[in-house]
Amino acid sequence: MTLHPEALREPGRGLLPSPRPDALPVHSQTSPACRQPHLDVPRTGSPVSHTAGGRLGTVTLPELECEILALVAEGKRDPEIALELGLPVGRVAYRIGAITRAFGLTSATRPQLVHLAYEHRVLTPPPRQRPVVLPAEQDHHLRAHIAGETATRYYRSRGLTPKQGSRIHLKLRWALDAKTPAHTVRQAWARQILGPGRFAADLHWARTHIDSQHLVDQALVVPLPGGRYRLAVPAGPGHRSGFLALTEHADALAVAAALRGQPSFPDVRIVRADTASAPYAVVWGGRPATPNLTPAPLPSCVTGRPARTA
């Protein structure tokens, strides 16, 4: 049983049955700030569990709750939100509880709610800025935030003392210029650490597939034409080669130009990829362990230098 959104405006009204869970996204009712058009970009598969069954119900958030969630994402605290919206302070926490239930959760942290709101287009994600790569411990702490882990449980699972955990938390907030844990999530979406973009997908893959996280910490942010970015992880122990699959030869040229001459990016070259969606790949180090790349030479007009084989 959960409170129906309309009943939230009059707490004296009764409870209505919970909506039937299905896979339809959450959406806002009226607030323009809470509406987001469909973004035709790949999703990253962030590690968030929406409900016990892993599915999300069809829910409509009232405008007031959407405004409260937007202010939480901006780093406002309950007294500030109450003052701005003309509400009693206790009503803010009450509405946060209603938002939690609307997402099909029995409990949630505010960073988790903000991440869910962006992921399911309840709130408009912030404008993208140049990406950053956080150190591994800070990145792990951030992803624990959006998974709904409390600070105490996170510190215990990592074998950290409260003082050690608080130090990591403060470093994360300083790195992203964030005021609160929920604001940290907003800043992480703005800096493309989280979200549906290609850079966030690169980073998520690197954090989950490369054993040497020290190498990921040293990864380069590679700019592409049109204000886009990709992540290139250097070669090193346990990761002797790397590659980026790309759709346009102009992107491949930009990546190769950015990586040539960089430490730990030996023998940078452009090769063909056997996929129609990404026909080019920039490779460095040894031959990557993937069947999708061929050593066929590319014309010099594509590589920017005389043709060669991988």
CATH at 92? 1.10.10.10
Using the predicted structure, report yes or no on whether residue 242 has a pLDDT greater than 60. Answer: yes
User: Tokens 């009503």 sit at which residue?
Assistant: 91
pLDDT of residue 55: 39
Phi/psi-derived region of residue 267, left when phi > 0, alpha when psi is between -120 and 50, beta in every other case: left
Domain stop point among 54, 84, 119: 119
**Residue 203, domain member (yes or no):** no
User: pLDDT by residue (tens digit) across 163-184?
Assistant: 999 999 999 999 999 999 999 9
Domain of 279? 211-303
Domain stop point among 91, 119, 147: 119
**Residue 281, domain member (yes or no):** yes
**Largest distance between two CA atoms of the chain:** 77
- Which secondary-structure segment (H or E) carries 245? strand 241-246
- Pick the range with the lowest mean pLDDT from 30-44, 104-118, 198-212: 30-44
Q: How far apart are CA 103 and CA 154, in angstroms?
A: 22
Task: Name the residue among 270, 247, 133 with its Cα closest to residue 193.
Answer: 133
Neighbour tally for 243: CB within 10 Å: 22
Range 137-150 average pLDDT:
93
**How many Å separate Cα 141 from the centre of its chain?**
13
Q: Please state the domain count of the chain.
A: 2
**Residue 309, domain member (yes or no):** no
Task: Name the residue among 194, 112, 176, 122 with its Cα closest to residue 148.
Answer: 112
Phi/psi-derived region of residue 178, left when phi > 0, alpha when psi is between -120 and 50, beta in every other case: beta
pLDDT of residue 173: 96
- Pick the range with the lowest mean pLDDT from 89-98, 104-113, 270-279: 270-279
pLDDT of residue 263: 87
User: pLDDT by residue (tens digit) across 44-103?
Assistant: 333 333 332 333 444 568 999 999 999 999 999 999 999 999 999 999 999 999 999 998
